[in-house]
Amino acid sequence: MNSLLDLSAHAQRRQHLLASLEDAAVVLPAAQLVTHHADVHHRFRQNSDFFYLCGLDEANAVAVLRGHGWGSPADPRFILFVEPRDATAEVWNGQRWGVEGALEHFGADAAHPLGELPERLEAYLRGAPRIGFRIGHHPHVEPLVLRIWGQQLEQRQRYGGQGASLFDVSPAIHTMRLRKEPAELERMREAARISCAAHEQARQATQVGMGEYQIEALLESHFRSAGARQPAYPSIVAGGDNACILHYTNNSDRLGDGDLLLIDAGCSLMDYYNADITRTFPINGRFRGEQRALYELVLSAQRHAIGAVQPGSSSAEVHNAAVQVLVDGLLELGLLRGDGEAIMANHDYRHLYPHRTGHWLGLDVHDVGTSRLGDHHTALEPGMVLTVEPGLYISNRLPVPEGQPEIPNHWKGIGIRIEDDVAVTATGHEVLTAAALKDLQAMET
Ligand code: GLY
Ligand code: MN
Ligand code: MN
C-alpha cells in the first residue's frame, strides 16, 4: 500500500509546484476505477500526476493544493478528500487509508471524507486569484469546479472584487515530471533491470512452433515474479509479418521457422515507473541475408540516434540521426531510390519507417512534457529520459511513394525495431536498458 519513494519526495514536489503557482488553488483528482465489463473493473491504475504529487494509490480521492500567496498563514495548504474507512467496503475491496491515514501518513493539513467534497470545496477555493484544474479529464469533479468558478464570476459581477481565473495546471506539473529526480532514475533503472532480464529469458526460451502467447506469458510471469505491478503496456510479441503491425497485441500466432520475432515489452513497478524495450531476433537462431542486412541497419541507426542523446540536443536531432542512417542504408540496399536529402525532406521513407524515433518515458510510458513548442524543440537536459526506437517494417500495407521502388517479395514480412530507454546525463547519456543484448552475434544462437 505504500509509496516506495520516501513520501517526503511528494511533499517536496508539492512545495515546488506551489512555489511556482503562489496565487493558485489547484484541484487534482485521482483516477477512478474503469469498467472492464459488466460490474467487473480493470485493476486500479492511479493518475500519474496525482501519484507524483501525493503518493496515494487510491481511487476517487481529490487533492486541493493552495499556494502561499493568498489566504492567511494558518490556512491548510494540502487538503485530501478520500474514501473514508468502511469495514464492509474494505472487506470487499481492500484496506483504505481513510481520513486518518491521509492526515498521519500522507501529510495532509486537512482531510475529509470524499462525500463532503461538494459542500467543502467552495470554501477551499474562495478567495484564490487563480484555480488550477485540467478540463476534460475528470468528469466527476469537473462540474463541481466549474460551478464554483461560475458562482465566483457571478459574485464578482454583482458585488465587484476579484473573481478567479481558471487555468490548466498540467503544464506546470508536466514540466516537473519531465526532469527525473535521482530517486526516480533509480526506480527507472529497477524497471529496466527487471524488463531486460525478462527479454533475455524470452529470447533464450524461444523455439520454432511456440505460440506468441507463450512468450508473452514468460515475459509477464517474470515481471510479476520480480515484484513489478504489471506490464507497462500490452506486450507485443510479433513473429514474422505481424511485426509490421506496430501495435500488434493479439500474440496469437505460432512462431515460424525462418521468421524474426519482435518483442516490445516492459514492466511497470508498484510505484508506476516504467520500462519500454524492444528486441528483434531470428526464431531459429540464424538471420537470413535480408534479415541480417536490415537488422544491422536498424542497429546502426539506433546507435547513431543514442549517440545524439546529450545535453543541448533534442528529440528531433535524435530522430534525424536515425532517419539519416536508415535512408542511406535503404538507398544502398535498393529499397529507396534518389537523393537522400530529398527523401528525408519529403518523408519518402515513411512506408518503411512510419513512426518517430522515441518519446519521453517515466510514470507514463508515453510520458508527459513537451518535446516541441512550435518550431522550438525542447533541449535535452540531465534527468530527462526518452526511448530510442528506430525500426523498419517491410510490407505492402502502405503505398510506395511516387518515384520510389516497389518492394521485391523476398524483403516482405520483415519487421524490426530496437528500443532502449536512455537517460540524459551531465556528460551525455546512460542507456538504462543496456543489459538486454542487441549485438547481431548475441541474437544468434
Ligand atoms: N511500446 C510502446 C512504444 O514503444 O512506444
Ligand atoms: Mn516506446
Ligand atoms: Mn515499446
Ligand 3 centre distance from Cα of residue 248 (Å): 11
> Can you give the pTM of this predicted structure?
0.96
Q: Which of 199, 235, 276, 319 to probe ligand 1 with, by most ligand atoms within 8 A of CB?
A: 276
**Residue 235 alpha carbon to ligand 2 centre in Å:** 11
Q: Is the C-beta atom of 420 inside 6 A of ligand 1?
A: no
Which member of 276, 348, 420, 421 is catalytic?
276
Of 231, 229, 235, 223, nearest to 269 (Cα)? 229
Of 326, 299, 443, nearest to 394 by C-alpha is 326
Last residue of a domain, one of 118, 146, 176: 176
Say whether 435 sits in a helix, a strand or coil.
Answer: coil
Q: Which residues form the domain of 64?
A: 7-176
| 396/412 Cα distance (integer angstroms) | 8
Ligand 1 pocket check for 49: Cβ under 6 Å: no
**221 and 140 fall within a common domain:** no
The reply to whether 411 and 439 lie within a common domain is yes
CATH code for position 75: 3.40.350.10
**Residue 255 CB burial class (10 angstroms; 0-12, 13-18, ≥19):** buried
Best mutation site among 195, 230, 278, 353 for ligand 1 pocket (most ligand atoms within 8 Å of CB)? 278
User: Is 27 in contact with 64 (CB distance < 8 Å)?
Assistant: yes
Ligand 1 atom nearest the C-alpha of 233 is: 1
Is 359 annotated as catalytic? yes
| β-sheet bridge partners, residue 113 | 82
Pairing of strands 78-82, 62-66: antiparallel
Q: State which of 134, 154, 176 marks the end of a domain.
A: 176
Helix (H) or strand (E) run with residue 114 in it: none
3-state helix, strand, coil in the chain (%, to 5): 40, 20, 45
Shared domain for 196 and 320, answered yes or no, is: yes
Among residues 63, 48, 51, 151, the alpha carbon closest in space to that of 114 is found at 63
Q: How many domains does the chain have?
A: 2
| Residue after which a domain boundary falls, among 119, 143, 176 | 176
Alpha helices by DSSP H, listed for 226-365, are: 289-307, 315-333, 340-346
Contact 423, 430 (CB under 8 A): yes
User: Do 213 and 129 reside in the same domain of the chain?
Assistant: no
CATH code for position 365: 3.90.230.10
9 CB-near residues (< 8 Å, 6+ apart): 55, 181, 183
Q: Assess whether 276 carries a catalytic annotation.
A: yes
Let me know whether 211 and 66 are in one domain: no
pLDDT at 1: 47
Same domain, 157 and 277: no
* 410 given a catalytic annotation: no
The tens-digit pLDDT sequence of the chain (445 residues) is: 444 557 999 999 999 999 999 999 999 999 999 999 999 999 999 999 999 999 999 999 999 999 999 889 899 999 999 999 999 999 999 999 999 999 999 999 999 999 999 999 999 999 899 999 999 999 999 999 999 999 988 887 777 776 789 999 999 999 999 999 999 999 999 999 999 999 999 999 999 999 999 999 999 999 999 999 999 999 999 999 999 999 999 999 999 999 999 999 999 999 999 999 999 999 999 999 999 999 999 999 999 999 999 999 999 999 999 999 999 999 999 999 999 999 999 999 999 999 999 999 999 999 999 998 888 999 999 999 999 999 999 999 999 999 999 999 999 999 999 999 999 999 999 999 999 999 999 999 8
